[in-house]
């Protein structure tokens, strides 16, 4: 599954290049799958560190944040809280395993906009990101 960039009423790709999709995650299979699903967007960045991801989250160009993986450097809850402090209204999506209910509940309690189970819902991820970028 691959997302495609948002389209306008005339079926032309919208110019959303100023709004960035930030993917935070380790070099894992899940992070690579998320990046592959988002490759239809031209404005996806995968910072080399969580600090860099947070710095980009605080930017006025940030469109949304996708937390794609367990963050070994920092608990997801703390990372979510820091991101929320930087951008109160930024859409933040947390990718979880289908059987990890505790992580999903915790993510929502700590400020996630939505929790998306991967696999199998790359389509849900694409829809959420597309909606956030409009």
Task: Indicate which CATH number applies to the domain containing 46.
Answer: 3.40.50.2300
Closest CA to 103 of 125, 72, 76: 76
Residue 122 counted as domain residue = yes
Task: Give the pLDDT confidence score for residue 101 in this predicted structure.
Answer: 87
Residue 6 counted as domain residue = no
pLDDT tens, residue by residue, 90-119? 999 998 888 888 888 988 998 899 988 876
Task: Give the pLDDT confidence score for residue 126 in this predicted structure.
Answer: 87
What span, in angstroms and rounded, lies between the C-alpha atoms of 53 and 65?
Answer: 9
At residue 11 the predicted structure's pLDDT band, cuts being 50, 70 and 90, is: very low
Residue 84 counted as domain residue = yes
- Please determine, for residue 82, whether its predicted confidence score (pLDDT) is greater than 50: yes
Task: Give the pLDDT confidence score for residue 2 in this predicted structure.
Answer: 53
Provide the pairing of β-strand 92-96 with 44-45: unpaired
Structurally, the chain folds into a number of domains equal to 1
DSSP 3-state assignment of 105? helix
Rg (CA), the chain: 14
Residue 8 counted as domain residue = no
Domain that holds residue 53: 20-133
What is the model's pTM? Answer: 0.81
Helices (H), 3-121: 29-37, 50-57, 76-86, 101-109
Residue 2 counted as domain residue = no
Tokens in use for 128?
């959420």
What span, in angstroms and rounded, lies between the C-alpha atoms of 99 and 77?
Answer: 18
Tokens in use for 98?
């289908």
């Amino acid at each position: 599954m691959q997302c495609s960039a948002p389209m306008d009423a005339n079926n032309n790709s919208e110019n959303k290049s100023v709004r960035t999709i930030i993917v935070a995650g380790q070099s894992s299979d899940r992070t690579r799958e998320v990046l592959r699903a988002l490759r239809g967007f031209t404005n996806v960045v995968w910072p080399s560190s969580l600090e860099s991801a947070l710095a980009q989250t605080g930017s006025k160009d940030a469109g949304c944040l996708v937390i794609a993986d367990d963050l070994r450097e920092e608990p997801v809850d703390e990372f979510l809280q820091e991101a929320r402090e930087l951008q109160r209204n930024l859409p933040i999506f947390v990718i979880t395993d289908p059987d990890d209910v505790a992580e999903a509940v915790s993510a929502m309690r700590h400020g996630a906009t939505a929790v998306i189970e991967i696999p199998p819902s790359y389509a849900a991820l694409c829809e959420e990101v597309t909606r956030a970028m409009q």
